[in-house]
Structure 1
Amino acid sequence: MTWTSEVPPPEQAFDARAWPRVLLRLGALGGLMVFGLSFKLVLRMVERPVFGLRRPITPIITQAVCRLALKIMGLPVHVQGQPMRQRGAIVANHASWLDIFVLNAADRVFFVSKAEVADWPGIGWLARATGTVFIRRDRREATRQKLLFEARLAAGHRLLFFPEGTSSDTQRVLPFKSTLFAAFFVPQLRDSLHIQPVSVTYHAPQGADPRFYGWWGDMEFAGHLLCILASRRQGRVDLVFHPPIAVADMPDRKALTLAAEGAVRAGFAAQPCWQEER
């Protein structure tokens, strides 16, 4: 389900005088994506037969592309803490499509996404090329998806998923769902896996609606993208990497879910309101 609010989203409109800035950034982003993905696909042709399901090389390209994309957009990311080196997964609150760039730029991860994204024009192809794990939130497919998770974890992939199941307006953390945490409790993996909670906090540009970077409800992706590219000055994103939680220390998936959600909420609430310095 997509999260919605009784308060309508900010109007997706911008000054026509910003078109040169939009076109410049959009062209640079497009060129970066085409070059980065083409290079990655070529490397994958070598990586796949040598390493199989493991991907020790191509995530480096994804991370570099995402870092450059954020620079093109002019959106700075401030990081507290360190991404874990243990096997397992990262979980974070979800506010925007920008999370894909922000979190990929900070760590080499493989996203877990709803299956519908695979069919989205452009974005679906991008997600498939970067090794995204696609799932359906359907109990009838729970066993198959659990096995898919186990295979990727056994291959050493560090997964990243959003337990809220939907994005919001950047102003809140929604309740975490425990379903996907079940895959971490299989006997052959449990003792070696960790979950690292990450808090993601967006600060809008000075004078803009605080929900400027949020993407939720029936907001159109194209309009939201253009508004962000049109902004002369951006705000910023704060990431807080919390200490990893050993799965073996948790009695069950619900306890692990509550522990991860508590850490994310604490880090989100602790971020002070930020104002751009003049």
Structure 2
Amino acid sequence: MTWRSDRPLPMAITGAGWLRLVWRGLVMGGVTYGGLVLLLLVRCVERPLFGAARPWTPHITRRVCRLSLAIMGLGLSVRGTPMTQQGAMVANHASWLDIFVLNACAPMYFVAKSEVSGWAGIGWLARATGTVFITRKGTEAKRQQTVFEDRLRAGHRLMFFPEGTSTDSLRVLPFKSTLFAAFFAPGLQEGLHIQPVTVIYRAPEGTDPRFYGWWGDMDFASHFGLVLSARRQGQAEVIFHAPVPVQAFDGRKDLSGYCQRVVAASHPAPDG
């Protein structure tokens, strides 16, 4: 279910904000889609040589995301080390910005709802960078688990958002355990690790603390414009916690509960 708030986020853009929006938007668009063209060209060589494995193209995605954050002016600090073991990462979900922030830290492949594949511009980027799309139909659960298993066996580190929805960035919701079932597939869980990741946003000084949050029925274009038009930007902090072996847990609920507690313990308490 989509998380909602009774207090809307002010989205007005005024004065010089429009100039910043146009300038940053044009530069960021050029970097993003220029990087996409490069990625597709490299993938034409990478695919015949390595098949499902992607040893080169994720590094292009990482560079593009780091440049995009610099263009926005959003600061990024990282604590801990991204895992090197086979497995997946799980993080709290606050905004569309999570994709840029997390991709800037380490190569990874996101798991997203199927609707994202149809979003104008965004869907194309997501498919090109290897995003795994899932549906909310119970009848698709088995097929989706097979997809996860295949990607994990190919050495891809997947990134899940177990809350199932984005928020106002001020809280961590309970993690849903459904997607964790793939980690317990026979013959897969041995040697597989899960890394909890906490993402924290600090709003620009003098703005609403929820400035970077994106939730409910908020329009993507409007929030994207709000962020790019800001005179000052805040900061994103990413905390990579210690990876844990899947086989140390009794099942998906035990593992999801542990990850939720670790992620929430490093996140600031809700404001209001």
> Do the structures match in fold with TM over 0.5?
yes
Counterpart-to-counterpart distance in 2, 1:184 and 1:42: 33
Are 2:192 and 1:193 equivalent residues in the alignment? yes
User: What is the correspondence of 1:79-94 to structure 2 with a 5 Å cutoff?
Assistant: 79-94=78-93
Alignment of 1:96-175 (within 5 A): 96-175=95-174
Mapped partners of 1:241, 1:87: distance in 2: 15
Q: Given the alignment of the two structures, is residue 54 of structure 1 paired with residue 57 of structure 2, yes or no?
A: no
Give deviations 1:161-209, integer Å, cap 9, x for gaps. 1000010000100110000000001121101111100011110000000
Partner of 1:71: 70
Q: Which amino acid aligns with 1:154?
A: R
For residues 60-92 of structure 1, what are the alpha-carbon distances to aligned partners after superposition, in whole Å with 9 as ceiling and x for unaligned?
000000000000000011111000100100000
What one-letter code is carried by the residue in structure 1 that aligns with 2:35? G
**Post-superposition offset of 1:40:** 0.2
SS in 2 for 1:198: strand
- Whole-Å Cα distance in 2 between the matches of residues 133 and 17 of structure 1? 39
> In structure 1, what residue type is equivalent to 2:4?
T
C-alpha deviations, 1:7-36, integer Å up to 9, x for none? 2x2121121222221111011011001210
TM-score of the two chains, using structure 2 as the length reference: 0.97
What is the match of residue 276 of structure 1?
none
Q: Is the 8 A contact 2:88 2:157 kept in 1?
A: yes
Residue 269 of structure 1, CA deviation: 3.2
Task: For 2:162 and 2:29, locate their aligned partners in 1 and report how far apart those are by CA, in whole Å.
Answer: 30
Q: Distance in 1 between matches of 2:230 and 2:213?
A: 15
The residue aligned with 2:225 is 226
User: Are the aligned partners of 2:171 and 2:269 in contact in 1 as well (CA < 8 Å)?
Assistant: no
Aligned identity (percent) is: 58
Separation of aligned partners in 2, 1:3 and 1:190: 31
In structure 2, runs of 5+ residues without a counterpart are none
* TM-score of the pair, normalised by structure 1: 0.95
Q: What is the SS of the residue equivalent to 1:223?
A: helix
Letter in 2 for 1:150: E
Q: How far off its partner does 1:270 sit? A: 7.9
What is the deviation of 1:96?
Answer: 0.3
Per-residue CA distance 1:208-228 (angstroms, 9 max, x = gap): 000000000111111111111
Q: Partner of 2:246 in structure 1?
A: 247
Aligned-residue offset at 1:5: 1.3
Equivalent residue for 2:3? Answer: 3
Whole-angstrom distance in 1 between the partners of 2:43 and 2:179 = 28
- 3-state SS, counterpart of residue 145 of structure 1: helix
What code does the residue aligned with 1:67 have? R
Shift of the 270–77 alpha-carbon distance from structure 1 to 2, 3 Å rule, reads: farther
Helix, strand or coil at the partner of 1:269 = coil
- Give distance in 2, aligned partners of 1:71 and 1:265: 27
SS at match of 2:187: helix
**Over the residues paired in the alignment, what is the CA RMSD in angstroms?**
1.3
5+ residue gaps in structure 1?
274-278
Distance 1:222 1:42 in 2: 29
Distance 1:231 1:241 in 2: 28
Which AA in structure 2 matches 1:35?
G
In the aligned structure 1, how far is the partner of 2:176 from the partner of 2:267?
18
Paired amino acid for 2:247: A
